[in-house]
Amino acid sequence: MLDRIKASLPSLAPAEQRVARLVLADPRAFANLPITELAARSHVSKPTIVRFCRSIGYDGLSDFKLKLAGSVSEGVPFIHRSVDVDDKTSDVVVKVIDNTVAAFLKYRNDASSVAIQKATDALEETYKAGKRIEFFGVGNSGIVAQDAQHKFFRLGVTSIAYSDGHMQVMSASLLGPGDCVVVISNSGRTRDLMDACDIARKNGATTIVITATGSPLAAAGNIHLAADHPEGYDRYSPMVSRLMHLMVIDILATCLALRIGGKLQPLLKEMKNNLRNKRYT
């Protein structure tokens, strides 16, 4: 959570930056002080405190302070334990699992329910209008995009995934108002994804980006779902980032399934029945 605030500092208004610095200086005190005292210490108005909380993706001051208190008091720090060449197999098992579990717990504390709500609203509107939901990703994120398409088409959603930059640009050129594209990137700096996201947004499609806070892609989408973690880009293949992106997709798919409601159950039941002949008894 504190990492997200640091990354968001340059994009905040000057008054909101003063609030951010107050949080970073003493997060425990910020979580416990009343809004009047917070405004006085940061030399801003009380509405500015609330605007700051909403600018970084929370419902308001109460929601922000609740998440902040959990972040600094609950004890879920992310200590990334890098795998070393001389590690035993047992060490690798423990490090990989610990890194993943810690990342998930950190995301649970940091996740913006406001952003997820907005993303779900956009996906539901696209579904109800019978428009297209597309998933873009390249490399490792392209695999996540394919998994997303697999989850969403089972809900009866018209969806497709593209991992080729040329196909993404061509498809984005055909999108328009009512359509929705979900762009997935670990670094948030892939040129092909940036180009496709810009084209889709200019054509009126809603763009949801799942990527790191403070990256160019994070600022390019209509809705940003932060996926922050300390995993380096230069060692081995992405592990934590891939699982985190898959988890975000699972959250969106579950939220949309709940919105679709009762009519989804007969569809899934029929699908399951039709698949029985594909299995050995």
In a domain? residue 148: yes
In a domain? residue 81: no
Give yes or no for residue 75 having a pLDDT over 50.
no
What would the mean pLDDT of 166-174 be, rounded to a whole number? 97
Question: For residue 38, what are the domain limits?
Answer: 2-73
In a domain? residue 96: no
Give yes or no for residue 78 having a pLDDT over 60.
no
Number of domains comprising the chain: 2
In a domain? residue 140: yes
pLDDT at residue number 82: 65
Mean pLDDT of the residues in the chain: 87
pLDDT at residue number 104: 86
What would the mean pLDDT of 262-275 be, rounded to a whole number? 78
Q: Which tens digits make up the pLDDT trace of 13-27? A: 999 999 999 998 888
Our separate counts of H helices and E strands in the chain read 14, 5
* pTM, rounded to two decimals: 0.70
Q: Give me the CATH number covering residue 60.
A: 1.10.10.10
In a domain? residue 53: yes
In a domain? residue 48: yes
Give yes or no for residue 79 having a pLDDT over 60.
no
Q: Give me the CATH number covering residue 137.
A: 3.40.50.10490
User: Measuring CA to CA, which residue among 38, 92, 96 is closest to residue 68?
Assistant: 38
- The helix/strand/coil state of 274 is helix
